[in-house]
Structures are given as C-alpha cells and as structure tokens.
Structure 1
Amino acid sequence: MNKDDIVSAQVIDVKAQKITVKTEENEVIEVSRPKSTMRDTLFLKTMTDILKSGLWIPVNKKLKQLLRYDWFETPIEKYSF
C-alpha cells in the first residue's frame, strides 16, 4: 500500500451496499460496504450521520475501501476492514 493511496473524503451518498465519497480533489469514488459490517446495525446510520455532518474520513482510493482507523494513530498495515 502506498501512502498516497490514503486520502480524505466526504461521504456524499449512502446505499445499503455502496458508499459514495468525494475526495479533496473532487474525485468521486464508489466504495463497497465492508463485509465485516453486514451484521452491524449501526454502520449505515453512522455513515448517514457522517454524510450529514460533512466530516472527512480516510479512504483507500486505489483499493476503493473505507479505512477502519484514523491514519494518524495506526500503522499502515492495519488500515483496511
């Protein structure tokens, strides 16, 4: 994983299986919902709250994945769901 693959993005749409985000460079990325969250009843609510608040979240734009951890606190090997 290249450190340039990790970018900040805002959630712009939330669907049951897909989350759409927009990077600081206005690149739109469609991210699949992580399999590990399929039984998580709060995941979509949390994503909707993030959408409404306009928060920026870490995304791997090359792998098109949301990141589980904040990029400041966690070693790069543990980023993905």
Structure 2
Amino acid sequence: MEGRVDSDRFPPWIERHAQKLGLLCRIEAQRGDRLEAVISGPPELLDAMEMACLLGPIQVWVDQIDRLPLNSRPEV
C-alpha cells in the first residue's frame, strides 16, 4: 500500500480487520509512504479487505494497493 500510511495505528487496524474477515495477515514492513502486508484468503474477502483499507482509518490515506500472488513477489 502506498500513500500516507505511516500511522502506528494502521498495522493493528489492518490485522483486526483481516481477522474479522477470516483472513490471514502478516505485516511485512512499514516505511514512510509504504506499508507491505501479506494477506491471504478467498478472493472476494481480499476484495473486501482492499476496500476497507482504501476507506479507513481516518489517520491514513491509501493512494494505491498492489495485489500480487504470493509466488510472484519480487525479491528485495
């Protein structure tokens, strides 16, 4: 995710919402305007999670979400 996502409250928010949807979630990194998370589950619930991240919480503003299959993640 990219945007104004540097709030300390955002990672726990993502984890709580993923849990409510029954998704598995792991926050990988949070640096400045970028947050990386691995979230897995059914596609329709991933769509719901993406929408939730775009709409809230008030402390952040998500400009872009890149969704990639786990096996296509670029090596860092």
Q: TM-score, normalised by structure 1?
A: 0.30
- Larger RCO (alpha carbons 8 Å, 6+ apart): 2
Query: Which structure carries more strand by proportion?
Result: 1
Query: Which structure carries more helix by proportion?
Result: 2
Q: TM-score, normalised by structure 2?
A: 0.31
